[in-house]
Amino acid sequence: MPEKVLSSGANDAQEQLEAMNLHGARIQQLLEQIEAIPAASTRELIHDFMEATLAFYGQGLARILQLVDESGPEYQKVYQHLINDKVVRGLLLIHDLHPADLQTRLREALDHVRPYLQSHGGNVELISLTGQTARLRLQGTCKSCASSAVTLELAIRNAIEEACPDLAGFEVEGSAEKEVPAATAAPSPERTKPNWITLESAPQLDDGAWMPVRVAGKRLVVCRVEGSLYAYRNNCPACNMPFDAGTLEAGLLCCPLGHRYEVRRAGRCAEMPTAHLDPYPLLVQEGMVKVALTL
């Protein structure tokens, strides 16, 4: 089966968010330099100036939201776009202007990745939110799968960081990774983050079909089973061979040497319970299929 080559262009919102993170990191560096100034009066003057500047722009943001919200039903879509935009949301949270509280945003973030987890026979549950620390529980195959740490890192963590940058951290039951610090307001630009890349040909994939793809230099295999799409690394962990000459039958992806993997059960090997395919988080949004890769 011929391999399709897909592009990996970043969208404008993601590029703007990354630019803001860089500015945030620079602000943090400047704050550290300010704290090192020997003269206390100078430090206090700079702090007063920063607080006044934040209050000035915060008042402007509040007024913009108020005008849009009060402009009639036809502007409610614009209002929702503003409060849910990755870039604008961060500014609103800094000024305590976002209308959704932390728990609401956290539940929405988990709902965002729940279809992916459920498609693999798993789920995630919010047990508690105490202060700014959440406690989660992985369920089903997400709990027992050897690749649950990958799922946690590339799907759940990313969704929470985007929606809840004000969350101090979260603990996870059912995973080897017990405590996960949340993102800071100004994460380090060197930190590797997943990049959600559109798979252009995936929506046309027929049920029971599969295809090997190459995206951002990585080899993947994308399958559609019982209406749901799945993405795995194109490599059999048992024999180290790609699935290019393999088959997909009854939900089992088979490598050329006959090792079979349950596509709907997080890639669990039918012959070797300890062997699992490496999954890539895959989400379908507004008819577009996106896969998360760490570049």
Asked if residue 284 and residue 210 are part of one domain, the reply reads yes
Asked if residue 85 and residue 134 are part of one domain, the reply reads no
When pLDDT is cut at 50, 70 and 90, the band that residue 11 belongs to is low
Nearest by Cα to 211 from 259, 202, 116: 202
The number of domains in the chain is: 3
When pLDDT is cut at 50, 70 and 90, the band that residue 232 belongs to is very high
Question: Using CB atoms within 10 A of its CB, is residue 40 exposed (0-12), middle (13-18) or buried (19+)?
Answer: exposed
Report how far residue 14's alpha carbon sits from residue 17's, in angstroms, rounded to the nearest whole number.
Answer: 5
Asked if residue 120 and residue 41 are part of one domain, the reply reads no
Report how far residue 268's alpha carbon sits from residue 286's, in angstroms, rounded to the nearest whole number.
Answer: 29
Each residue of 255-274: b (16+ CB within 10 Å) or e? beeebbbbbbbbbbbeeeee
What range does the domain containing 74 cover?
9-94
pTM score, two decimals?
Answer: 0.58
Q: Which residue, 94, 122, 152, sits at the end of a domain? A: 94
Report how far residue 156's alpha carbon sits from residue 144's, in angstroms, rounded to the nearest whole number.
Answer: 16
Asked if residue 145 and residue 86 are part of one domain, the reply reads no
- Label each residue of 41-70 as H, E or C: HHHHHHHHHHHHHHHHHHHHHHHHHHHHHC
pLDDT in tens, 27-73: 889 999 999 999 999 999 999 999 999 899 989 999 999 999 888 88
Which pLDDT score is estimated for 67?
92
Nearest by Cα to 57 from 17, 96, 98, 95: 95
Do the domain assignments include residue 4?
no
Q: Has residue 188 got a pLDDT over 50?
A: no
pLDDT in tens, 135-147: 988 877 665 555 5
Q: Has residue 290 got a pLDDT over 90?
A: no
Asked if residue 282 and residue 207 are part of one domain, the reply reads yes
